[in-house]
């Protein structure tokens, strides 16, 4: 069999580091050759060899209405006809800002950028500029993009400052970041007791989706809010993944917590490079051109990207959209759990709105340490068997999964049936 995927991967490896433009796509953690995707419609993608898959990655979250949704594609076409970029204000940007601020009451002012990394990096600079403080708290296993201050792992002691988790990040920068355990309210309280008046911001994924899926203890999120308020620190909810993914009101609506700043991405671009940060007016007014914190972007608010995002944001406001989406994700998790149970496989699954986690351990993890206890070789075998059977999950045991409105009950049931056969083979 000549495999076009193999051919393309070999060619990619010649001029692209690892053959990819973003590392997880290279299949390093599961092994093998990644399929090269030629097209997608609805919940399905097709690779260059003509094999079709039910897709549970959805471009890592953005494609909440499915691939190539006709209304999104039409909006993009229409916008493209009028020109691709101006670097000057456009009406679509105003519509985007109005829409985001209407859907998310914590946003008084919002700035649109082109990637989640840019959004979080800028939100952190803004929080530091606003407070005049340098220290940042993040939680192990949460991902907030790849800017220097965030590629940091815990230091040697519990409350000591961090070390770079990537080569190329200066120690001098990492030492301003304190890395704590997700869902550990006691530890967070201790950190504030010791360093409170130096803490510019706490940045947190309100549902952690970059260490597989770890659901928050609600008391932990409330403690983030209360401690930030008490110490004059800025609470940043990184909702790049959870924004319009877990509910129309995002995670902050779901859990009833108002952050000072919010970062968005993924869904708000509908598959185009769009992200945003926004929040309290008194903080956002510190951003250039109103204030002294600099931030800019040649392609920020790009009209074609705005069109895709706005078309997507319109579709998700349909009545019952999130009820159906959540029911689909729950159906998948329940079906997979039953299939595993019937075959004696140590497995669990859970969903929050339209995102889900699959775990090769008996119960869903509530901490980074528990995530690390998952049986990675078992996941990798499951992943490859499912891929072979035409069901595309994220190629790592430590990533969340995503469902779209285009997944029908029959699509989901076909995945559950395939998993049952895979579990039965052992
Ligand atoms: C994806 C993601 C980012 C980074 O977004 P990019 O667009 O990949 O730069 C930041 N934070 C969270 C929570 C994410 O899931």
pLDDT digits (tens, 9 = 90+) for 260-315: 999 999 999 999 999 999 999 999 999 999 999 999 999 999 999 999 999 999 99
Query: What is the structure's pLDDT at 2?
Result: 61
Over residues 70-93, the pLDDT tens digits come to: 999 999 999 999 999 999 999 999
Looking at residue 32, its pLDDT comes to 95
Side-chain-side CA neighbours of residue 239 (13 Å): 35
Structure confidence at residue 399 (pLDDT):
96
| Same domain for 116 and 58 | no
**Which H/E stretch holds residue 263?**
strand 261-264
3-state secondary structure of 21: coil
Compute CA distances 312 → 51, 67, 196, 237, whole Å: 27, 11, 40, 22
CATH code of the domain covering residue 345: 3.90.1150.10
Residue 368: CB atoms within 10 Å: 21
The reported pLDDT for the residue numbered 7 is: 97
User: Final residue of a domain: which of 264, 294, 315?
Assistant: 315
Q: How many domains does the chain have?
A: 2
Do 323 and 392 lie in one domain? The reply is yes
- C-alpha 370, offset from chain centre: 20
In angstroms, what is the span from residue 224 Cα to ligand 1's centroid? 21
Angstrom distance (rounded) from CA 104 to CA 99: 8
Task: Report which of 24, 366, 400, 66 is spatially closest to residue 241, judged by C-alpha positions.
Answer: 400
163 and 246 inside one domain = yes
Coil/strand/helix, residue 46 = strand
For ligand 1, say whether the CB of 128 is within 6 Å of any of its atoms.
Answer: no
pLDDT of residue 175: 92
Going by alpha carbons, the residue nearest to atom 15 of ligand 1 is 241
Residue 200 banded pLDDT, cuts 50, 70, 90: very high
Which of the residue ranges 1-15, 257-271, 390-404 would you say has the lowest mean pLDDT? 1-15
Which of 266, 288, 315 marks a domain boundary?
Answer: 315
Query: What average pLDDT does range 398-405 have in this prediction?
Result: 97
What pTM, to 2 d.p., does this model score? 0.97
Beta bridge partners of 101: none
Among residues 396, 391, 401, which one has the least CA distance to residue 421? 391
- pLDDT of res. 1: 47
Question: Which DSSP state fits 120?
Answer: H
Helix (H) or strand (E) holding 357: strand 355-359
Output the domain CATH number for residue 96: 3.40.640.10
Ligand 1 atom closest to the Cα of residue 242 is 13
The protein residue whose alpha carbon is closest to atom 5 in ligand 1 is 116
241 CB within 6 A, ligand 1: yes
Distance 261 CA to ligand 1 centre (A): 15
Q: Where on the phi/psi map is residue 315: left (φ > 0), alpha (ψ -120 to 50), or beta? A: alpha
Same domain, 137 and 278: yes
Q: Are residues 113 and 210 in the same domain?
A: yes
The per-residue pLDDT for 71 is 98
Q: Which of 238, 255, 359, 392 is catalytic?
A: 238
Are 261 and 409 found together in one domain? Answer: no
Q: Which residue, of 315, 340, 367, is where some domain finishes?
A: 315
DSSP 162: P
pLDDT, tens digit, 9 for 90 and up, residues 368-381: 999 999 999 999 99
What would the mean pLDDT of 390-411 be, rounded to a whole number? 97
DSSP H helical ranges for 30-147: 70-81, 91-103, 116-131
Q: What is the per-residue pLDDT across 137-194, written as a single tens digit (0 to 9) for each?
A: 999 999 999 999 899 988 877 678 889 999 999 998 899 999 999 999 999 999 999 9
Nearest to 242, CA basis, from 258, 263, 261: 263
Range of the domain at 27: 3-64+319-425
Both tokens of residue 188?
A: 């967070």
Are 242 and 221 contained in the same domain? Answer: yes
> Residues in the chain, how many?
426
CA distance 377 to 266: 29
Query: What's the confidence (pLDDT) of residue 155?
Result: 80
Q: Which atom of ligand 1 is nearest to the CA of 22?
A: 8
Q: Tell me, yes or no, whether 304 and 396 share the same domain.
A: no
- Residues 293 and 158 grouped into a single domain: yes
Q: Is the pLDDT of residue 57 over 90?
A: yes
Residue 36 pLDDT exceeds 90: yes
Pair (242, 276) in one structural domain:
yes
How do strand 199-204 and strand 135-139 relate by DSSP bridges?
parallel
As a whole number, the mean pLDDT across the chain is 97
> Cα–Cα distance between 6 and 51 in angstroms, integer?
13
* Residue 128 shares a structural domain with residue 217: yes
**In sequence order, what are the residues at sequence separation of 6 or more whose Cβ sits closer than 8 angstroms to the Cβ of residue 297?**
113, 114, 118
Say which of 184, 266, 322, 392 is annotated catalytic: 266
| Residue 14 and residue 144 in one domain | no
Closest CA to 56 of 399, 390, 402: 402
| Tokens found for residue 265 | 């991405």
117 ligand 1 Cβ < 6 A: yes
**Catalytic-residue membership of 51:** no
């Amino acid at each position: 069999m000549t495999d076009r995927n193999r051919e393309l991967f070999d060619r990619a490896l010649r001029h692209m580091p690892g053959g990819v433009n973003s590392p997880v796509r290279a299949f390093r953690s599961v092994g093998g050759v990644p399929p090269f995707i030629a097209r997608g419609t609805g919940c399905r993608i097709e690779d260059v060899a003509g094999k079709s898959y039910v897709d549970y990655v959805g471009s890592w979250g953005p494609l909440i209405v499915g691939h190539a949704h006709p209304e999104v594609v039409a909006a993009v076409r229409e916008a493209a006809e009028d020109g691709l970029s101006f670097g000057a204000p456009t009406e679509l940007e105003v519509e985007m800002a109005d829409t985001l601020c209407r859907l998310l009451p914590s946003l008084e002012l919002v700035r649109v950028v082109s990637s989640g990394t840019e959004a979080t990096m800028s939100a952190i600079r803004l929080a530091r500029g606003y407070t005049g403080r340098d220290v940042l708290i993040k939680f192990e296993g949460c991902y907030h993009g790849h800017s220097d201050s965030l590629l940091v792992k815990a230091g040697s002691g519990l409350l000591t400052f961090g070390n770079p988790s990537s080569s190329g990040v200066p120690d001098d920068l990492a030492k301003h970041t304190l890395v704590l355990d997700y869902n550990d309210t006691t530890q967070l309280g201790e950190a504030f007791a010791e360093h409170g008046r130096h803490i510019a911001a706490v940045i947190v994924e309100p549902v952690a989706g970059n260490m597989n899926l770890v659901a928050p203890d609600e008391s932990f999120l409330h403690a983030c809010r209360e401690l930030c308020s008490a110490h004059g620190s800025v609470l940043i909810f990184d909702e790049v993944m959870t924004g319009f993914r877990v509910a129309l009101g995002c995670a902050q609506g779901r859990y009833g917590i108002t952050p000072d700043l919010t970062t968005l991405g993924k869904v708000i671009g509908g598959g185009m490079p769009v992200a945003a940060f926004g929040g309290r007016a008194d903080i956002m007014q510190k951003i250039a051109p109103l204030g002294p914190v600099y931030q800019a972007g040649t392609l920020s608010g790009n009209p074609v990207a705005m069109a895709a995002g706005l078309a997507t944001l319109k579709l998700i406001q349909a009545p019952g959209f999130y009820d159906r989406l959540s029911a689909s994700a729950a159906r998948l998790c329940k079906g997979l759990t039953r299939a595993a149970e019937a075959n004696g496989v140590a497995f669990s699954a859970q969903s929050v709105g339209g995102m889900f986690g699959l775990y090769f351990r008996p119960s869903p993890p509530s901490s980074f340490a528990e995530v690390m206890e998952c049986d990675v070789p078992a996941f990798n075998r499951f992943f490859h068997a499912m891929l072979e059977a035409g069901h595309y999950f994220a190629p790592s045991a430590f990533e969340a999964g995503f469902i779209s409105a285009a997944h029908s009950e029959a699509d989901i049931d076909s995945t559950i049936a395939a998993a049952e056969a895979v579990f039965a083979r052992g």
